[in-house]
């Protein structure tokens, strides 16, 4: 049992420290404004300085002055919003058998056409040896981990997204496909080359179809924690030449390095007051190494005021290069967020169809147990499961 009375002082300290942090951001925002103006004065020189810096941080560059913002375009009277999401029942060694379930959901919401919404789920059970044991590491078979399972769920969502894009494109009206979260698969960066290529080839099939049918894909990130652009500003503030953060001369000294002048900021905070009224920022290029293997689907990102928060929208390069598709993406993302009171209604619907709740998980294992009994398979339960009564 949790005794909250024993941490009341800690909770109070937490609230006070957060309040002090927020009140202290004004000076950092003023410094950020100054650096943004400096970058805008000579963006080419800023890009060269950022590219020449040695740092373990992810940095972002832009081809336009970063203070520039764009108003949303009018949304087409007839259009469609596509969304996918997924959920799973993971392997559990305390259950009667090792298996897992992936549940991918896709929705299409039509506007101005009179067509009924489309919603479906694609659940799939995995229980065979090849499902439970995978060979991602140069022929070495391992029991599926949370990381591998998460990637399999991503691939299931990608396959469903491709199907929904084809279905929506058949109507002949503009459409935007929304994906909850980042389009950048950071987790693949450190994986073996063969597994990485195999996974990316499957993942990018939806992107290939989207490009062919001119349906933008947009990764919608609520409450983004990204600091890529702030990291670029930190490089601009550095007083060293050449810049090598691993060999920073300020380390170990009783002084704050110049880059700490914006150290507590996030990109969304920097753009908080600049994007009022649904405006978007300029496009940023990510420094993520995995994007070198995305072919023509290299990812760009912009920040947008959803009406409730500053969100990050990620799009493939071919969307960023097409003004019509870029404006459509901006307009649909904003409209969906407003219809959903701050979060895209299509993504909320996809989540509701995809999510696996505790009663459904219990019903799933109950059916598995009944199947074992029906066919005379031996049932074993862990002592932990028995002791906890589940």
Quickly list DSSP for 353-390: HH---HHHHHHHHHHHHHHHHHHT------HHHHHHT-
Return the pLDDT at 24. Answer: 67
Q: Spelled out in words, what is the top-level CATH class assigned to the domain 79-226+270-354?
A: alpha beta
Return the pLDDT at 26. Answer: 86
Which tokens go with 302? 């912009």
Spatial distance between the Cα atoms of 69 and 261, rounded to a whole number of angstroms: 24
Query: Does residue 383 register a pLDDT over 50?
Result: no
Q: Is the backbone peptide bond immediately before 242 cis, with ω within 30 degrees of 0? A: yes
Return the pLDDT at 345. Answer: 98
Query: Does residue 43 register a pLDDT over 90?
Result: no
Nearest to 120 by CA among 134, 141, 106: 106
> What tens digit of pLDDT does each residue of 214-232 get?
999 999 999 999 999 999 9
Query: Does residue 111 register a pLDDT over 60?
Result: yes
Which tokens go with 274? 């600049």
Nearest to 314 by CA among 194, 186, 198: 186
Give the residue extent of every domain in the chain: 35-68+232-265, 79-226+270-354, 357-390
Spatial distance between the Cα atoms of 288 and 300, rounded to a whole number of angstroms: 11
Spatial distance between the Cα atoms of 132 and 117, rounded to a whole number of angstroms: 36
Measured over the CA atoms of residue 201, residue 203, residue 207 and residue 212, the dihedral's sign is positive
Residues forming a β-bridge with 244: 54
Percentage of the chain modeled with pLDDT above 70: 94
Query: Does residue 386 register a pLDDT over 80?
Result: no
Query: Does residue 189 register a pLDDT over 80?
Result: yes
Coil, helix or strand at residue 106: strand
Query: Does residue 118 register a pLDDT over 60?
Result: yes
How many residues make up the chain in this entry?
A: 390
In which band, very low, low, confident or very high, does the pLDDT at 136 lie, cut at 50, 70 and 90? Answer: low
The model's pTM is 0.90
Segment 124-147 mean pLDDT: 80
Query: Does residue 279 register a pLDDT over 90?
Result: yes
Helix (H) or strand (E) holding 293: none
Coil, helix or strand at residue 244: strand
In which band, very low, low, confident or very high, does the pLDDT at 98 lie, cut at 50, 70 and 90? Answer: confident
- Rounded to the nearest 5 percent, the helix, strand and coil shares of the chain are 45, 20, 35
Coil, helix or strand at residue 197: helix
Structural contact between residues 51 and 61, judged by C-beta atoms closer than 8 angstroms: yes
User: To the nearest 10°, the Cα dihedral for 307, 72, 37, 51?
Assistant: 100
Segment 356-365 mean pLDDT: 90
Spatial distance between the Cα atoms of 177 and 353, rounded to a whole number of angstroms: 17
- Write down the mean pLDDT value for the chain: 90
> What tens digit of pLDDT does each residue of 59-83 get?
999 989 999 999 999 999 999 999 9
Nearest to 340 by CA among 314, 311, 319, 299: 311
* Best-predicted range by mean pLDDT (2-11, 24-33, 96-105, 300-309): 300-309
- Name the residue with higher pLDDT: 204 or 136: 204
Beta strands in 160-294 (DSSP E): 175-180, 217-221, 284-286
Spatial distance between the Cα atoms of 341 and 255, rounded to a whole number of angstroms: 45
Residues forming a β-bridge with 300: 285, 315
Cβ-in-10-Å burial (0-12, 13-18, 19+) of 106 comes to: buried
């Amino acid at each position: 049992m949790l005794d909250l009375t024993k941490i009341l002082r800690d909770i109070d300290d937490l609230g006070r420290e957060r309040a002090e942090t927020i009140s202290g951001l004004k000076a950092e925002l003023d410094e950020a404004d100054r650096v943004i103006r400096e970058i805008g004065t000579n963006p080419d020189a800023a890009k060269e300085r950022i590219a020449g810096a040695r740092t373990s941080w992810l940095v972002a560059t832009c081809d336009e002055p970063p203070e520039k913002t764009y108003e949303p375009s009018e949304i087409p009277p007839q259009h469609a919003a596509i969304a996918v999401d997924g959920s799973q029942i993971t392997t559990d060694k305390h259950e009667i058998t090792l298996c897992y379930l992936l549940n991918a959901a896709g929705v299409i919401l039509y506007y101005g056409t009179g067509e009924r919404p489309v919603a479906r789920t694609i659940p799939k059970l995995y229980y065979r040896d090849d499902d439970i044991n995978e060979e991602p590491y140069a022929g070495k078979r391992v029991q599926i981990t949370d990381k591998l399972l998460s990637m399999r769920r991503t691939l299931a969502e990608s396959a469903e997204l491709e199907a929904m894009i084809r279905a929506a494109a058949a109507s002949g009206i503009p459409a935007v496909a929304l994906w909850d979260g980042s389009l950048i698969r950071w987790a693949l960066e450190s994986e073996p080359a063969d597994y990485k290529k195999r996974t990316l080839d499957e993942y990018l099939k939806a992107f290939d179809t989207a490009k062919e049918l001119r349906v933008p894909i947009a990764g919608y990130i609520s409450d983004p924690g990204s600091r890529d652009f702030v990291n670029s500003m930190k490089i601009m503030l550095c007083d060293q030449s050449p810049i090598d953060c691993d060999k920073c001369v300020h380390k170990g000294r009783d002084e704050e390095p110049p880059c700490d002048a914006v150290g507590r900021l996030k990109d969304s905070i920097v753009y908080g007051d600049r994007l009022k009224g649904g405006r978007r920022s300029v496009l940023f290029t990510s420094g993520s190494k995995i994007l070198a293997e995305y072919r023509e689907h290299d990812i760009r990102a912009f920040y947008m005021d959803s009406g409730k928060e500053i969100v990050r929208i990620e799009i493939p390069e071919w969307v960023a290069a097409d003004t019509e598709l870029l404006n459509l993406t901006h307009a649909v993302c904003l409209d969906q967020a407003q219809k959903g009171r701050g979060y895209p209604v299509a993504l909320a619907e996809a989540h509701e169809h995809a999510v696996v709740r505790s009663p459904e998980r219990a019903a799933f294992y109950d059916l598995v147990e009944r199947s074992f009994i029906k066919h005379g398979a031996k049932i074993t339960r862990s002592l932990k499961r028995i002791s906890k009564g589940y």
